Structure 1
Amino acid sequence: MEDPQWAAVFVAGGALLVSILAALFTGVSLGYTRGQRDATVRQADAAEAQVVVMQRQVDLMEQGAGGASVSQVPYVPPWSVIHSANRNGLRLINGGDETAHEVEVTFNPSPPENNASAMAWDKIEPHASVEFVVMRSFAWVPDTVNVRWRRVPGGEDLYWTTPPPL
């Protein structure tokens, strides 16, 4: 049989090997963690520098725009025209966030009498629609739908033109 002292030496040697491997893995893990921390700090510094650069660009653009704020978005006409359930009908949709006042729809070329219903409304609420009838004929087919409206009652006339839906 083997000597019990040798068994103790083997157990102690195994324990030493396990502790050396644990220390080695701890060192590697510590180095990796420090590298990640440094990368995070570099990334945060770069992000802060990018914010400064973007702020400078915005300032330069505002100066170039005569002091007007870049955050001002140009007004976009809110209209769309689609077919209604009625075969000869069209639906004018106010897709904007504000009420349109004194709305009027006309066509180019102008229709003959009795080919179009009344197409003027005092106001059209946001996200609302109105329906009107257009009686097409062989003698008349509109090539554009024109919308005139005001953002406030009695305000400036605004215009939008689109081809009629097919």
Structure 2
Amino acid sequence: MPIQAGDTLPAATFQLIDGEEVRSVGTADVFDGRRVLLFGVPGAFTPTCSARHLPGFVEHLERFRARGVEVACMAVNDAFVMRAWAASAGVPPALRMIADGNAALTHALGLEMDASGFGMGERCRRFALYAEDGVVRFVNVEEPGEFRVSAAEHVLAQLPAQDA
């Protein structure tokens, strides 16, 4: 069953791209004590992901940060692909790139999909998830072929006001 609002993020290990460095980290390292918007895409360098999804978060990153929210992008790709995608898309260092190469986090969230029909194997569904201190406040999962509820603009409108 996919993760729901009110759930605590499950423990999983994945790779975080930090400039030229790649670190193996766990869910707690990224989410504990923070307000984080995690968006997942089916794959780096794929059409909608590269032309619309990632660019929307790059464009609006400072609006998220002004609200006290960190942003992270995840795909079931290896760290080398995610680092190359970040470089080619001009992703600023403040937008964290997560390589979920073994789909550990994807499976833990219950957001996997079979993209074998497109020659891509197992991938992550397109989604946006907002968590505070590791607890999911909302999760928007797109229907296959859709790109609406996980867009940066849509998610910004759902975010709670920053605590005083």
Q: TM-score range by the shorter chain?
A: under 0.3
Between Structure 1 and Structure 2, which shows a larger proportion of helix residues? 1
Greater relative contact order (CA < 8 Å, ≥ 6 in sequence) = 2
> When the two structures are superposed, what TM-score results if normalisation uses the length of structure 2?
0.24
> When the two structures are superposed, what TM-score results if normalisation uses the length of structure 1?
0.23
